[in-house]
Each structure stands twice: as C-alpha cells, then as structure tokens.
Amino acid sequence: MTQQSVEPKTTAEEAGPGSRVPAGRSWLDRYFHITHRGSTVAREVRGGITTFMAMAYIVLLNPVILSGKDAAGDTLGQKALITATAFAAALTTLLMGFVGKVPLALAAGLSVSGVIAGQVVPQMTWPQAMGMCVMYGVVIMLLVVTGLREMIMNAIPLALKHGITMGIGLFIAIIGLVKGGFVHAGEATPLTLGPTGELAGWPVLLFAGTLLLIFMLQARNTPGAILIGIITGTVVASVLNATGVIDPAQWANGAPELHGSAVSMPDFSLFGELEFGGWGEVGAMTVGMIVFTLVLAGFFDAMATIIGVGTEAKLADDKGRMPGLSKALFIDGAGGAIGGVAGGSGQTVFVESATGVGEGARTGLASVVTGLFFAACLFFTPITAIVPQEVASAALVVIGAMMMMNARHVDWADRATAIPVFLTVVLMPFTYSITAGVAAGVISYVAIKVAQGKAREIGAFMWALTVIFVVYFALNPIESWLGVH
C-alpha cells in the first residue's frame, strides 16, 4: 500500500467512513467535520481538556530527564526546558489539529528524551544533541514521503518491536529510580538501594509514596492518575518544606517553593540552540547509530498510536485505513525537527490521546484545545518549576511499567523470538544504551534463524541491519587490533 492510497481525496472521505457532507453548518463544523464524525463542539472541547490533563505531566517530566550534564559538563536551565517542552507540544499539537484534523496530541517523547539523555549527550554537547533531533525528524518525514515507512515496519519482526518498547520502558524506569534517589551506584555492586543500601531522607520516601499513589489510582482506572499523583506529591512536598520537616538541601533540584509571581514570561533561550558538528566529535558511524536509534525510539510507537487511537475514534474504514494518515505521520516526523529547534527533544504522538477519544473527541478541534492549554503553560513556568525532581521521577517509573506491558504480546515459549527480545530488553537499561539493546536483539534474531535453517525468512533489511550492528560492536576491537587507537 502506498502513502497515496491512504490519503483522503474528498471532503467526505476526510470526514471519515460512512459520512455525508450536509450543508448549513458553521465554518468550525465544516472545517473539522464535527457533525460528519458524530461529534459536537462540547465533546471536542471536553476531549481536548481531558487529553491535556492526561499528558500535562510531560511539561514536568521532560525537564527532569534532560537535566543531566553533556560531554562538556553543561546543563540546561529548568525554566528554559519547561518553556521548550510546552512550546513544542503546543505548536505540534495545534498543527495536528488544524492540518491533520484528527484528535491526536503530541509532546516530547519520553523514549526519545531517554535516548538523548542516556546515550547522546554523554558523547556531545546539548546543541549537538538537538541537532540529532532535527536529523531524526527529517529522516521520519522522508520515510513518510517516500513510503519507506511500511517497508521498515514490515521488515522488523513484531516481537522485536515489542522488545524495543519494553527495553526503552525499563531504561526510562531506571532513570526515574536514579533521579528519585531510590537507586544509587554501589561500591560492592553496580546498583544499590539508596546511597548506603537503605533509603535516606524524606524526599526519597516522597518519591516512593508518589509512585504507590499513582499505581493505586491507575489500578482504580482513575482518569489523569499520573497528573493527580504529581500534584498530590508536590503539595505534600511543599507542606513538609514549609513546616521545616525537610532540610532544603535534601531536595535534588531545590526546595519546592514559589519565588515571586506565579506568572512569568517564557524563557526561549534554548530556541535555535542547535549544531550539526557531532560528526566530527564522535564519528559518522556513531552519529548514524544515534539517528537510527532515535528513529526506532519514536517511529514504531507513533505509527501504532496513530492507527490505534484512530481506530478507537472510529475514523478507520473496514480496511483499517484512516483519513489523513499520511498527514498525521508527516506531522509526527516534523515534531522531531520542531522539538530539536525548540530545544526540548523530539515530539511524538502520545497514547494519552485515547483519553480524549474516550470522552467523545473525534476531530482536530480537540487537538486545538489541547494545544492551547499547552500554550498557556508557557506563562506558568514558576508553578511547574515547584515540582520536586523526586515527585516527577516517580511518574517515569510508572511510564516504564506501562511500556513493559507489551510483554504480553511476546510468545515466550518460542526461543527464536524470546531470546532476542530478552537481550533487547535487558541490555538497554544494563548498558545505558538503547542502541546496544536493539543491536543485540537484531543480531541474535538473525543468528538463531540461520541456526534453525530459516535464513530465507530473513529480509534484506534485517540482513543489512545485522551487518551494521556487527560492525558497531566490533569496530573498537578491530581498530585496537589494527593499532588505529
């Protein structure tokens, strides 16, 4: 199937399967096809607000993930990161609403941010890392325009796709555990509970309490569980800090208190701060692996989310084709570049968009509402900056747990798929490298297929990936053997 085959050709088709184009509707109704898709303005507004409430946590979490030092020892300012995160989410979600005309919201992808924080910035500067984001977005857009996305989607085995999602989930979870103070580097062991083998300090206990609260709310199917947990944890932290129970020095990112006005102008100091000099710093091979890893981190989840939410919204026809699919995929790719330019990581479609669909959202008007709420966040940075790192980090562990639920889709009795998936999942957090996990999964999958006498089942793309990843693993030993270093 080509991209053109899923692109809508008429207004009726764009409205959705089985729709008609009645006259006498308002311009808002006609533009977003509200009546055609069986919705109302009230439902769209309610759905847009619900989606925002479900994913507003990203404005708090993304700055936590991107709070580390780069190769030059530099860090990014929290206020500037909050501005970049909110701005990019607002712009891309508004684009999805006005152009894509579907109820999908975008924001900084935690998997993409995890790759940048854990794998990219230790090797280069923050501006160079944002340059990698722009390159990743351009690659996604080219894949959509050329129709290569389907070839890639079909080439990588489904089990490995689930393994990649689970591995990134564990990677994000361990980032949350470390930033929450729950896990530390040990002396006798690689990791230990707390700094000395036991939990120390109120902030860490608040992390654990927030984590349990979110899990309990999710178990009760409470809408906005993550946001409620973060707000509750922040309120408790503020009370404990105000009463003097906690030494302000114990907080990882400063005491949770408001300094001055609750409203301020956005800090766009990170906007346009990007470089493309990473090639010379780490080499073309490494840069290629980084861009490929970023594509893996965001591409497959976005594709599945767009189709899944579109189907839930009853926008797909009986053949699974969704109106505006090509536009939605292209905007998702553009989100990578927009996020890089803004300085807040690549943007991708959020599965939380399904919460708005559950409230009745069927059109892009819901996305416009969500985008406007993200835009409003630009002026309330002092409030969002109050959230302690320990509280926000708990949500990272929750997201990791949710991504691990893909394990139910893996046939663990089939060793030909179970072993590659296991290696993919385990190596990502243990090596702090998503590329290493993907590489191990691909190589082992091909090796096992060959051992089973099923080499013909392996596509050309998987063979090419295997060669690339073998070179990736063997490059340093070969260079050392040849005396290059």
Q: Which residues pair with 349 in a beta bridge?
A: 106
- DSSP for 161-224, please give it: HHHHHHHHHHHHHHHHHHHTTSEEE-SSSSEEETTTSS--SHHHHHHHHHHHHHHHHHHTT-TT
Cα-based torsion angle of the residue sequence 103, 108, 110, 115 in order, rounded to the nearest 10 degrees: 140
Structure confidence at residue 150 (pLDDT): 63
Q: Could you give the count of Cα atoms lying within 13 Å of 439 in the half-sphere of its Cβ?
A: 19
Distances (CA, A) of 88 to 70, 240, 271, 380: 22, 34, 10, 16
Q: Is-contact 180 229, C-beta < 8 A?
A: no
106: part of which helix (H) or strand (E)?
Answer: strand 106-108
What pTM was computed for the model? Answer: 0.70
Gap between the Cα atoms of 472 and 477, Å rounded: 10
Structure confidence at residue 39 (pLDDT): 86
List the domain boundaries for the chain. 22-410, 411-485
Taking only the tens of pLDDT, the chain with its 485 residues reads 333 434 344 444 455 554 555 555 788 888 988 888 888 888 898 888 878 877 887 888 888 888 888 888 888 888 889 999 999 999 999 999 999 899 999 999 877 888 888 878 888 888 888 988 898 899 889 988 887 776 766 677 888 888 887 887 888 788 888 888 888 777 777 877 877 777 777 888 889 999 999 999 989 988 778 878 888 988 888 888 888 777 776 776 666 776 667 788 888 999 988 888 766 667 777 777 778 778 776 766 676 677 667 766 777 665 556 667 778 888 988 999 999 999 988 898 887 787 678 777 889 999 999 999 999 999 987 777 777 878 878 887 887 888 788 888 889 999 899 999 999 999 988 887 777 888 899 999 999 999 999 988 888 888 988 888 888 787 677 666 766 55
Structure confidence at residue 7 (pLDDT): 39
- Look up residue 224 and give its amino acid: G
CA 246 to chain centre: 33
What's the angle, vertex CA 320, arms to CA 315 and CA 322, rounded to 5?
40
- DSSP state for residue 344 in the 8-state scheme: S
Structure confidence at residue 458 (pLDDT): 87
Distances (CA, A) of 260 to 81, 264, 410, 484: 19, 9, 52, 57
Structure confidence at residue 375 (pLDDT): 95
- Look up residue 329 and give its amino acid: L
